[in-house]
A = this chain, B = another copy of it.
């Protein structure tokens, strides 16, 4: 499926954003001055809630493996043990990581949001933004009553917009599943790596999936989707994927639910890359022919993260030697022999290396430049993405049956600019 004009993309988003039965959502906005950096002046923060009409026992979560997690991650891990929950509060701009009293702040906000929403079950709380700053609790508490007053049961779109930080467009994907739906949103544009770095994603479904199955299936699906993308190799302190079911529709069985959940998560995770900070091309690296999928994924990820491959693609320069260099480094680094006589490498449909040598000539070079140019994205983004094309790099290393694909982005001057100036 491709969208070549903004209105088509927007129509898709609006129709996919319709909330599953039993969910409500709302968003609000406020200003504050950071205590740690008052000269930064007035900062804007969004708050957003998702509310289930009734508490649910069917919820699950996957969190960052970062050894210095944000306080909302610490609180969220504990809440997984609760018998039931009823919602979620998210703020952007301040990540609440490492700040004094940060755990108490997160838990206090959760409690207050549940109370103000008239909920019977507790709320998760997620934060994303600057690390090190303290949450502006006073200002946040002032805006909560209005936020919780009358959430809408129409659309997830205002919520999806509110949780954005450096994202250029809100990200929502959905799929039908049995008689119900799965609707999901994510934010995240930098600090995005295998382990879901600075990424928040929320999955809502009205399908009555049993709690134990949700808790087994969510990590598996995340491992094959969100953990196979990388914008900059950074694993955030705050990565969180939460899943809630309102249990209104019958469960169609594991196979169908897994297919829908995977489809939604795969599309959403690719959206995260496509909207990555300074992303000028989405690059899919497929490594196949090994006996071990984890090893294939690790090699694909090394190439997806290699700055010289990324910058070459950025320049629409088919400098294929750099892919070979990154491949050799990944194999050498992990002690895997590389058989030059078996190796095959292609970009799109063009064979680049095979039969023990580079297969390059002037014509192929020109065709590769054309291929890369067609897949370019505007940097910085001009509204919605103009297409859903990827640069496909395919590498075969032998005749093993395992393969893996990692989705990454190129590396542009804009990425550096955004991140050198992030707080100023």
Contacts and interface: CB of A to CB of B under 8 A. Distances in A.
Interface of A: 36-39, 64-69, 95, 97-100, 130-133, 190-191, 193, 195, 197, 232-237, 305-308, 311-312, 314-315, 317, 319-322, 324-329, 331-333, 336-338, 340, 353, 357-358, 360-362, 365, 411-413, 415-424
B98 A324 contact: yes
B67 A358 contact: no
A397 to B, nearest CB: 10
A418 B236 CA distance: 28
Given A65-B333, A233-B306, 18 more contacts: A36-B361, A37-B365, A64-B332, A66-B328, A67-B327, A67-B329, A69-B328, A97-B324, A98-B340, A131-B319, A131-B325, A195-B332, A233-B307, A234-B306, A235-B328, A315-B421, A317-B420, A415-B416
Contacts of A412: 416, 420
Given A235-B329, A308-B190, A358 B420 contact: no
Contact of A131 (B37, B130, B190, B321): B321
Contacts of A424: 315, 317
- Interface on chain A toward B: helix, strand, loop, or mixed SS? loop
Contact of A326 (B195, B234, B322, B411): B234
A365 B39 CA distance: 10
Contacts of A232: 307-308
A311 B234 CA distance: 12
A356 to B, nearest CB: 8
A345 to B, nearest CB: 10
A358 to B, nearest CB: 5
B321 A191 contact: no
A306 B66 CA distance: 14
A325 B419 contact: no
A395 to B, nearest CB: 12
A370 to B, nearest CB: 14
Nearest to A418: B311
A360 B132 contact: yes
B423 A417 contact: no
A67 to B, nearest CB: 4
A307 B415 CA distance: 9
A419 B311 contact: yes
A360 B38 CA distance: 12
14 contacts: A66-B329, A67-B328, A131-B325, A193-B329, A233-B306, A234-B329, A235-B325, A235-B329, A236-B325, A237-B321, A237-B324, A312-B422, A317-B422, A319-B423
A226 to B, nearest CB: 15
Contacts of A131: 319-322, 324-325
Among A306, A307, A331, the one with the most B-chain Cβ atoms within 10 Å of its Cβ is A307
Contact of A315 (B190, B317, B420): B420
Given A67-B337, A234-B325, A358-B100, A420 B312 contact: yes
B422 A411 contact: no
A65 B332 contact: yes
A422 B306 contact: no
A415 B322 CA distance: 15
Nearest to A69: B328
Given A338-B68, A423-B319, A132 B358 contact: yes
A317 B100 contact: no
B98 A357 contact: yes
Contact of A307 (B234, B308, B357): B234
Nearest to A306: B234
A99 B64 CA distance: 43
A135 to B, nearest CB: 13
Contact of A416 (B68, B361, B411): B411
